[in-house]
Structure 1
Amino acid sequence: MSAADFQATADKVRTMSPPSQEDQLELYSLYKQATVGDCNTAAPGALDVKGKAKWSAWNGKKGMSQDDAKQKYVTKAKSLGV
């Protein structure tokens, strides 16, 4: 998986019609894992429902290599028609 392929897919995802919330969280968590690595922020407070969902999704990818996350991101995006 080249960095250019990953970036091209990420660019296409930004312009597509929003998928389901579940698919959005999956794409978000894989993107963050691919670009940043393991979750490195504290969990948001209980009142930040959206932030907590995003944090939980990303934190659930802990231990996944950045290369694996890139591949899974591209695969997920393609399954959504990107």
Structure 2
Amino acid sequence: MSEWLTSLQTDTPQEGFELAITLARKGVGYTQPSAEVREKLRSVYEDNADSLIASSQVIAIHYQTVAAANNYWK
């Protein structure tokens, strides 16, 4: 895959959160490279509260990493 992540540095916490979402989405793409399979699986988790909470947890963990890399935007 081509290099797309050149830095964890962001100007604002909002940008940091958006980067965390991108990291989570890219992780899914690396784990399951088939867009067709991902589309089929979406119906399994899109209405499942536990799956949605797990997705939010992954984003939160990435956000912690990005925030630390940005010295919590101090």
TM over 0.5: same fold? no
TM-score interval for Structure 1 and Structure 2 normalised by the shorter chain: 0.3 to 0.5
Question: TM-score by structure 2 length?
Answer: 0.40
For CA contacts below 8 A with separation 6 or more, give which structure has more relative contact order: 2
Q: Would you tell me which structure has more helix in proportion to its own residues?
A: 2
